[in-house]
Amino acid sequence: MKFGIKQNKTLGVSSLIGATFLYGWFGVLSKLIAYDLPIFYASATRDIFALLILTIPLYLTRRKNFRKIEKADYKWITLRSFFGLLAFLGSYISFVYLEIGTAYFIFYGGSTVFGFLLGRLLFQEKITWSKGLALLLAVLGLYTIYQINISANNGLYILLAGLGGMATAIWNIFSKKVSDKYSALQLNFLDFLIVLVFTILFSILKKEAWVMPEFSIVWLYNLLFATIFIVNGQLMVIGFNNLDAQIGSLIMLTEILFGIILGFFLFKEVVTVLTLVGGMLIVTAVILPELSLEKKSFWQKLFKR
């Protein structure tokens, strides 16, 4: 049984745009929860909640959505989950301690650039002229939108934001190595299961205090976090299975646009001229590769004599 052999670009694009809309809430929820709950313990409770939810559809559709894991695929599935946990930790901590603009710029810059490199290394995707120009426009758009505050005092958290972005690219793209064999539902379930093992282990090593869940706003945010992760896990596998890794990495930048829109309507944040210009650059970067303006390699074009 094979899954997603024939790419459906419309499904891939719509899945990733849906995921980016949900991810737009990540920074907000990170700051709302902060360290009111121990970080690894809170993650473990989200994983347990997600597994309980996913067990139902996976069991009911087991003949269609479940198959035995091949030995060669264990490494890709385990590594994906491990880097997914690192992505969460790096981004979560950086969002708590850094200014939101600085965290977004470093995180998404690292994720997008590293996504391009992984697409080239793992899937031999060519960096065409249109893709290379799109990457430059995307980074410029990020820089235009966000006011960056880099200093020696926040160096550690900037590093974590960058590592979180690169780990996110790995989590996003490694699913392409196995998503033609296993359903998104099964991969999502395994992802939560493996991460649960890691988070419990780290929580014990860190000697975190485990508290009983209760009816409170913090636990409500935590469950909302889990729900977003459940849906996003499905959408990310489907999206990247149907798109090139490099194209998918660019589309993920639309999360920033959703974040700006949500900030404007929910928190009355001011949208500046630079924000609009940066948003236009990112939209252009997302659309440009589909125009197929050039078939030559970006690097061949750039260094052509």
For residue 65, give the nearest of 201, 237, 225 by alpha carbon: 237
Q: Which pLDDT does position 96 carry in this prediction?
A: 74
Residues listed for the chain = 305
Q: Which pLDDT does position 189 carry in this prediction?
A: 95
* Rounded Cα distance, 179 and 9, in Å: 15
Non-local (6+) Cβ contacts of 73 within 8 A are 177, 178, 181, 182
Pair 138, 289: CB distance under 8 Å: no
Coil vs helix vs strand at 85: helix
Coil vs helix vs strand at 297: strand
Q: Which pLDDT does position 34 carry in this prediction?
A: 66
Q: Each residue's pLDDT tens digit in the chain (305 positions)?
A: 455 456 788 899 999 999 888 877 776 676 667 667 888 898 899 999 999 999 999 999 988 888 999 999 999 999 999 998 898 888 878 877 777 667 778 888 899 999 999 999 999 998 888 888 999 999 898 888 876 666 666 778 888 989 999 999 999 999 999 988 899 999 999 999 999 999 999 999 999 989 888 888 889 888 888 898 899 889 999 999 999 999 999 999 888 888 777 667 766 667 788 888 888 998 899 888 876 544 445 445 555 54
Coil vs helix vs strand at 146: coil
Q: Which pLDDT does position 149 carry in this prediction?
A: 61
The answer to whether the pTM exceeds 0.85 is no
For residue 23, give the nearest of 262, 292, 283, 304 by alpha carbon: 262
Helix axes 273-287, 254-267, angle to 10 degrees: 150
* Rounded Cα distance, 241 and 5, in Å: 8
Q: Quick count: other Cβ atoms within 10 Å of Cβ 133?
A: 19
Pair 182, 67: CB distance under 8 Å: yes
Q: Which pLDDT does position 30 carry in this prediction?
A: 67
Q: Which pLDDT does position 146 carry in this prediction?
A: 75
Q: Quick count: other Cβ atoms within 10 Å of Cβ 151?
A: 8
Coil vs helix vs strand at 128: strand
For the chain, the domains span 9-302
* Rounded Cα distance, 241 and 246, in Å: 12
14-47 burial, b if ≥16 CB within 10 A, otherwise e? Answer: ebbbbbbbbbbbbbbbbebbeeebbbbbbbbbbb
* Rounded Cα distance, 278 and 257, in Å: 9
* Rounded Cα distance, 202 and 134, in Å: 39
Non-local (6+) Cβ contacts of 246 within 8 A are 115, 116, 119, 120, 125, 127, 131, 289
Paired with 128 in beta bridges are 297
* Rounded Cα distance, 235 and 96, in Å: 26
Displacement of CA 232 from its chain's centroid (Å): 9
Q: Which pLDDT does position 99 carry in this prediction?
A: 73
